[in-house]
Amino acid sequence: MGRLPVFEDVQAAADRIAVFVHRTPIMTSATLDRDLGASVFFKCENLQKIGAFKARGAVNAVLSLDEDTAARGVVTHSSGNHGQALAYAASIRKIPCAVVMPDTAPRIKVDAVRGYGADVVFCAQSEREATAEQVCAERGATIVHPFNDPVVIAGQGTAALELVAQVEGLDLLVAPIGGGGLLSGTTLVAEALLPSAPVVGAEPEMVDDAYRSLISGFLQPRVSRATTIADGLITGMGELAFEILRERKVEIVTVSEEQIVVAARFFAERMKLVVEPSGATSLAAIRAMGGRVAGLRVGVIVSGGNTDFSWLQR
């Protein structure tokens, strides 16, 4: 396990990546605020480069490589968004990139990775890490882990850094959790700038390893053969994220598949935003919290918008 990132790393990442990522907008919904009795501010990372917050961490990681290391290229494993992000980041420095993807990855994400010029290597979901290690050894490249990397976490934290600057007086921050890079980066920002504001992670019930880990105090294995429409959150939580979230007593709220679909439909039908199910888990979580958010100013990170809309049939 690498060293734990700190808030100063997030600040440095913000300066490093500024010209290569969007300062995404904040959106609100009067209907939702009325229903919840709260003021909710959505940080729309679905409008980020490559359609997800992952651009932040990947660009920070690639720009942090020295020239000799970068020239040998980068490799990662990803269900889609981090793969697209790393492919985009590699294109900035014009270096080779390979992305190991599960053979169940949505076609829209596979096509997007290739569109940025990266090679795609397919494998079974359970073999992603081993396959990435093999590709890395064959190419002499550097692995950029999707979340268990302090430089990646620092980059992901810049979304919350912007959110706090854009909206004053937030009482609560909410973000999805899969591997934990976004939520742990958000937690570093909250600890430094909003010390009295709790941080909540949103996780599908079908892949509840983060919830179980933080309840038990021990890192739990990812759910075997997990199935959820929130495909970007299937991976298990990383060691770095676990340490950050455990130390700061971050709460995880789990949500059902139906709650995720309802949230994603709300974004599409009422806010006119394309949000993938993984990104909609944050809205599902604050709805599940009910009266606990009444009267609060809630900052919510919408993690991404890359979807094939297959969930609309549910």
Q: Which residues are tagged catalytic? A: 54, 79
Return d(Cα 66, Cα 85) in angstroms, integer: 19
Closest CA to 299 of 193, 178, 180, 150: 193
Residues 306/52, Cβ–Cβ less than 8 Å: yes
Return d(Cα 67, Cα 242) in angstroms, integer: 32
> In 3-state terms, what secondary structure has residue 61?
helix
Any idea which residue has 């992670």 for tokens? 201
Q: Which of 132-167 are b and which e, b meaning 16 or more Cβ less than 10 Å from the residue's Cβ?
A: beebbeeeebbbbbbbbbbbbbbbbbbbbbbbbeeb
Sheet holding 251-255, edge to edge: 26-27, 39-44, 297-302, 172-176, 199-204, 251-255
| Residues ≥6 apart with Cβ < 8 Å to 131 | 77, 100, 121, 123
